[in-house]
Protein backbone atom coordinates (compact mmCIF):
# COMPACT_ATOMS: atom_id res chain seq x y z
CA UNK A 1 0.00 0.00 0.00
CA UNK A 2 2.83 2.39 0.92
CA UNK A 3 4.55 1.61 -2.39
CA UNK A 4 1.34 2.41 -4.28
CA UNK A 5 0.95 5.76 -2.48
CA UNK A 6 4.54 6.64 -3.29
CA UNK A 7 3.93 5.89 -6.97
CA UNK A 8 0.84 8.11 -6.99
CA UNK A 9 2.83 10.99 -5.42
CA UNK A 10 5.56 10.60 -8.03
CA UNK A 11 3.03 10.67 -10.84
CA UNK A 12 1.40 13.76 -9.35
CA UNK A 13 4.72 15.61 -9.06
CA UNK A 14 5.57 14.55 -12.62
CA UNK A 15 2.29 15.93 -13.96
CA UNK A 16 2.87 19.24 -12.12
CA UNK A 17 6.33 19.40 -13.64
CA UNK A 18 4.90 18.99 -17.16
CA UNK A 19 2.34 21.72 -16.51
CA UNK A 20 5.07 24.03 -15.28
CA UNK A 21 7.19 23.29 -18.33
CA UNK A 22 4.27 24.09 -20.66
CA UNK A 23 3.67 27.35 -18.83
CA UNK A 24 7.29 28.43 -19.13
CA UNK A 25 7.49 27.75 -22.89
CA UNK A 26 7.48 30.97 -24.93
CA UNK A 27 4.42 31.72 -27.05
CA UNK A 28 4.55 31.25 -30.80
CA UNK A 29 5.38 34.25 -32.95
CA UNK A 30 2.33 36.12 -34.26
CA UNK A 31 1.44 35.66 -37.91
CA UNK A 32 0.59 38.70 -40.00
CA UNK A 33 -2.15 38.15 -42.59
CA UNK A 34 -2.12 39.82 -46.00
CA UNK A 35 -4.90 40.21 -48.52
CA UNK A 36 -4.12 40.51 -52.22
CA UNK A 37 -4.14 44.27 -52.92
CA UNK A 38 -5.92 45.52 -55.99
CA UNK A 39 -5.72 48.61 -58.14
CA UNK A 40 -8.28 48.06 -60.92
CA UNK A 41 -6.88 48.91 -64.34
CA UNK A 42 -8.89 51.00 -66.73
CA UNK A 43 -10.15 48.87 -69.59
CA UNK A 44 -10.83 50.36 -73.00
CA UNK A 45 -13.91 48.13 -73.24
CA UNK A 46 -15.68 49.02 -70.00
CA UNK A 47 -17.97 51.58 -71.68
CA UNK A 48 -19.09 49.11 -74.33
CA UNK A 49 -22.25 47.05 -74.26
CA UNK A 50 -22.01 43.43 -73.11
CA UNK A 51 -20.13 41.46 -75.73
CA UNK A 52 -20.97 37.91 -74.68
CA UNK A 53 -24.37 36.24 -74.39
CA UNK A 54 -23.02 32.97 -73.00
CA UNK A 55 -23.02 32.02 -69.33
CA UNK A 56 -19.48 31.58 -68.04
CA UNK A 57 -18.53 29.55 -64.98
CA UNK A 58 -15.24 30.57 -63.36
CA UNK A 59 -13.60 27.66 -61.57
CA UNK A 60 -11.20 28.08 -58.68
CA UNK A 61 -7.67 27.57 -60.02
CA UNK A 62 -6.05 24.28 -59.09
CA UNK A 63 -2.67 24.38 -57.38
CA UNK A 64 -0.24 22.02 -55.73
CA UNK A 65 2.54 22.06 -53.19
CA UNK A 66 3.13 25.35 -51.41
CA UNK A 67 0.65 27.15 -53.67
CA UNK A 68 -2.24 25.07 -52.37
CA UNK A 69 -2.21 26.76 -48.97
CA UNK A 70 -1.90 30.27 -47.57
CA UNK A 71 1.89 30.50 -47.26
CA UNK A 72 3.60 33.34 -49.15
CA UNK A 73 6.24 31.72 -51.33
CA UNK A 74 9.67 33.19 -52.05
CA UNK A 75 12.42 31.74 -54.25
CA UNK A 76 15.67 33.51 -53.29
CA UNK A 77 17.70 30.87 -55.13
CA UNK A 78 16.51 29.18 -58.36
CA UNK A 79 14.68 25.89 -57.79
CA UNK A 80 14.72 26.30 -54.00
CA UNK A 81 11.29 27.57 -52.92
CA UNK A 82 10.83 28.80 -49.37
CA UNK A 83 8.14 30.71 -47.48
CA UNK A 84 8.16 34.00 -45.64
CA UNK A 85 8.16 33.42 -41.89
CA UNK A 86 5.45 35.10 -39.84
CA UNK A 87 3.33 36.02 -42.87
CA UNK A 88 0.43 34.34 -44.64
CA UNK A 89 -2.28 35.18 -47.13
CA UNK A 90 -5.67 35.85 -45.59
CA UNK A 91 -7.12 32.98 -47.64
CA UNK A 92 -5.84 30.04 -49.65
CA UNK A 93 -3.87 31.25 -52.67
CA UNK A 94 -6.20 29.70 -55.31
CA UNK A 95 -9.19 31.40 -53.68
CA UNK A 96 -7.40 34.76 -53.69
CA UNK A 97 -6.74 34.42 -57.42
CA UNK A 98 -10.30 33.29 -58.17
CA UNK A 99 -11.76 36.25 -56.31
CA UNK A 100 -9.44 38.66 -58.12
CA UNK A 101 -10.51 37.23 -61.48
CA UNK A 102 -14.18 37.50 -60.52
CA UNK A 103 -13.68 41.15 -59.62
CA UNK A 104 -11.95 41.79 -62.94
CA UNK A 105 -14.82 40.25 -64.93
CA UNK A 106 -17.39 42.26 -62.99
CA UNK A 107 -15.43 45.49 -63.36
CA UNK A 108 -15.03 44.90 -67.10
CA UNK A 109 -18.74 44.30 -67.56
CA UNK A 110 -18.69 42.63 -70.98
CA UNK A 111 -19.65 39.21 -69.60
CA UNK A 112 -22.72 39.74 -67.48
CA UNK A 113 -23.77 36.10 -67.10
CA UNK A 114 -20.95 35.05 -64.80
CA UNK A 115 -21.01 32.46 -62.04
CA UNK A 116 -18.31 30.79 -59.95
CA UNK A 117 -17.70 27.15 -59.26
CA UNK A 118 -19.80 27.00 -56.08
CA UNK A 119 -22.97 28.27 -57.80
CA UNK A 120 -25.39 25.39 -58.59
CA UNK A 121 -26.38 26.74 -62.01
CA UNK A 122 -25.71 25.51 -65.52
CA UNK A 123 -23.25 27.34 -67.77
CA UNK A 124 -22.39 27.34 -71.46
CA UNK A 125 -18.65 27.61 -70.90
CA UNK A 126 -16.27 26.96 -68.05
CA UNK A 127 -12.98 28.74 -67.45
CA UNK A 128 -10.62 26.43 -65.59
CA UNK A 129 -6.97 27.06 -64.78
CA UNK A 130 -3.83 25.79 -63.10
CA UNK A 131 -1.87 28.18 -60.92
CA UNK A 132 1.72 27.34 -61.81
CA UNK A 133 3.54 30.21 -60.10
CA UNK A 134 2.56 32.79 -57.50
CA UNK A 135 5.68 33.85 -55.68
CA UNK A 136 8.51 36.28 -55.16
CA UNK A 137 11.64 35.59 -57.20
CA UNK A 138 14.99 37.33 -56.97
CA UNK A 139 16.48 38.87 -60.10
CA UNK A 140 19.77 40.78 -59.87
CA UNK A 141 19.46 40.74 -56.09
CA UNK A 142 15.95 42.26 -56.00
CA UNK A 143 12.60 40.52 -55.51
CA UNK A 144 9.81 40.60 -58.05
CA UNK A 145 6.32 39.17 -57.99
CA UNK A 146 5.77 36.43 -60.57
CA UNK A 147 2.46 34.83 -61.58
CA UNK A 148 1.86 32.10 -64.16
CA UNK A 149 -1.62 30.79 -64.87
CA UNK A 150 -2.56 28.15 -67.45
CA UNK A 151 -6.16 28.85 -68.52
CA UNK A 152 -8.61 26.66 -70.47
CA UNK A 153 -11.99 27.57 -71.91
CA UNK A 154 -14.18 24.45 -72.04
CA UNK A 155 -17.60 23.81 -73.55
CA UNK A 156 -19.67 22.69 -70.57
CA UNK A 157 -22.02 20.49 -72.58
CA UNK A 158 -19.58 18.64 -74.85
CA UNK A 159 -16.63 18.93 -72.42
CA UNK A 160 -14.45 19.79 -75.40
CA UNK A 161 -11.57 22.21 -75.08
CA UNK A 162 -12.33 25.45 -76.92
CA UNK A 163 -8.98 27.17 -76.35
CA UNK A 164 -6.13 27.47 -73.87
CA UNK A 165 -3.34 29.88 -73.05
CA UNK A 166 -0.62 30.56 -70.48
CA UNK A 167 -0.62 33.98 -68.83
CA UNK A 168 2.52 35.35 -67.17
CA UNK A 169 3.08 38.62 -65.34
CA UNK A 170 6.08 40.02 -63.47
CA UNK A 171 6.31 43.08 -61.24
CA UNK A 172 9.44 44.30 -59.47
CA UNK A 173 9.03 45.04 -55.75
CA UNK A 174 10.18 48.39 -54.39
CA UNK A 175 12.11 46.70 -51.59
CA UNK A 176 12.69 43.33 -49.93
CA UNK A 177 10.05 44.10 -47.30
CA UNK A 178 7.17 41.61 -47.29
CA UNK A 179 4.62 44.42 -47.71
CA UNK A 180 6.41 45.59 -50.88
CA UNK A 181 6.42 42.03 -52.21
CA UNK A 182 2.68 41.72 -51.55
CA UNK A 183 2.07 45.00 -53.42
CA UNK A 184 4.11 43.71 -56.38
CA UNK A 185 2.09 40.49 -56.51
CA UNK A 186 -1.11 42.54 -56.36
CA UNK A 187 -0.09 44.65 -59.37
CA UNK A 188 0.94 41.55 -61.32
CA UNK A 189 -2.41 39.93 -60.49
CA UNK A 190 -4.29 43.02 -61.70
CA UNK A 191 -2.59 42.95 -65.10
CA UNK A 192 -2.97 39.19 -65.46
CA UNK A 193 -6.67 39.40 -64.59
CA UNK A 194 -7.33 42.08 -67.22
CA UNK A 195 -5.37 40.14 -69.83
CA UNK A 196 -7.38 37.01 -69.03
CA UNK A 197 -10.68 38.89 -69.27
CA UNK A 198 -9.79 40.32 -72.70
CA UNK A 199 -8.74 36.90 -73.98
CA UNK A 200 -11.89 35.21 -72.65
CA UNK A 201 -14.18 37.78 -74.25
CA UNK A 202 -12.39 37.38 -77.58
CA UNK A 203 -12.68 33.59 -77.45
CA UNK A 204 -16.39 33.68 -76.62
CA UNK A 205 -17.03 36.18 -79.42
CA UNK A 206 -15.25 33.90 -81.91
CA UNK A 207 -17.30 30.93 -80.68
CA UNK A 208 -20.56 32.81 -81.13
CA UNK A 209 -19.53 33.96 -84.62
CA UNK A 210 -18.82 30.36 -85.69
CA UNK A 211 -22.16 29.22 -84.27
CA UNK A 212 -24.01 31.89 -86.25
CA UNK A 213 -22.21 30.94 -89.45
CA UNK A 214 -23.15 27.28 -89.03
CA UNK A 215 -26.85 28.06 -88.61
Each of the 215 residues of the chain gets a pLDDT tens digit; together they read 444 444 434 334 343 333 333 333 344 668 999 999 998 666 555 546 566 678 999 999 999 999 999 999 999 999 999 999 999 999 999 999 999 999 999 999 999 899 987 777 889 999 999 999 999 999 999 999 999 999 999 998 889 999 999 999 999 999 999 999 999 999 999 999 999 999 999 999 888 888 777 76
Contact (Cβ atoms closer than 8 angstroms) between residue 150 and residue 164: yes
Answer yes or no: pTM beyond 0.85: no
User: Pairing between strand 114-116 and 56-58?
Assistant: parallel
What are the residues whose beta carbons fall under 8 Å from the beta carbon of 139, sequence distance 6 or more?
A: 172
- DSSP strand E in the chain: where? 32-34, 56-58, 71-77, 80-89, 114-116, 125-139, 142-155, 161-172
CA 125/CA 153 separation, integer angstroms:
7
Q: How many CB atoms lie within 10 A of CB 192?
A: 24
CA 105/CA 107 separation, integer angstroms:
6
Which domains can be identified in the chain, with CATH numbers?
Answer: 53-214 (3.40.50.10610)
Amino acid sequence: MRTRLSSIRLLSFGALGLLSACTLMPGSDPVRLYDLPTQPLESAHQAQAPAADATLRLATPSAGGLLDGSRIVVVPTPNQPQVYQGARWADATPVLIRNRLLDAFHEDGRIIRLIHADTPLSADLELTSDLRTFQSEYRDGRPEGVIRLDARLIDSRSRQLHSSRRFTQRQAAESEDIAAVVDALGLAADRLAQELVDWTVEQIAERQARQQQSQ
